[in-house]
Amino acid sequence: MLDNNAKIKIEQYTRCCEDIRHYDTGLWQITSINVTVAGIMIGISFQYLSGIHRIIPLLLAFFLSLVLSVTLSKYVLFQLGRAQSMHQIEREFEVEPVPTSTNEVLAFLKKTEVEVDQPARWFEQRKANRWVIGIMLTVTIVLFNMVFVAPFIDR
């Protein structure tokens, strides 16, 4: 029978797994929302507005993109924290750790003699969260620049 401490650790482990899934889903949803809203605001600015009035939707999109970029960075941070917490609990229970990073997955697959096929092998050392954050920051920078340039662009 498990003591109360062990039950709490199991609940924490379960929570970490759920949180990692939640943050992973959020990473892609936030990025999609950011790109969509930025595109809509750019479209509104250039289709329906002119001159200085273009700044308003672009500025709103910029600030939203900035906030979502910070949120995305926090999601990555919390994902890493949850993964380390899982590993700590696994060590306490002296069980084989669940791979939570690319390098851990690659080591696990190599150990179990599973071959990684193309195109997955091309990207096995790339970190998707860096690409996603890069996209977010690029959109944010583009919006920031458009705030200053848009009033001077003719239709």
pLDDT score for 136: 94
Structural domain boundaries in the chain: 4-149
Helix, strand, coil share of the chain (percent; to 5): 80, 0, 20
Q: Label residues 14-51 b or e (16+ Cβ within 10 Å = b).
A: eebeebbeebeebbeebbeebeebbeebbebbbeebee
Q: How far is Cα 23 from Cα 37, in angstroms, rounded to an integer?
A: 20
Q: Which segments in the chain show pLDDT lower than 50? A: none
Signed CA dihedral, 138, 143, 148, 154: sign only: positive
- Please report where in the chains the tokens 């990684």 appear, as a residue: 116
DSSP states along 89-154:
HHHHHT-PPPP-SHHHHHHHHHHTTPPPPTTGGGGTT--HHHHHHHHHHHHHHHHHHHHHHGGG--
- pLDDT digit string (tens) for 106-131? 899 999 999 888 888 888 888 888 89
Helix (H, G, I), strand (E, B), or coil: what is residue 36? helix
**In Å, what is the CA distance from 151 to each residue of 51, 53, 131, 143, 145?**
4, 7, 31, 13, 11
Residues 6+ apart with CB under 8 A from 93: 6, 9
Helix (H, G, I), strand (E, B), or coil: what is residue 49? coil
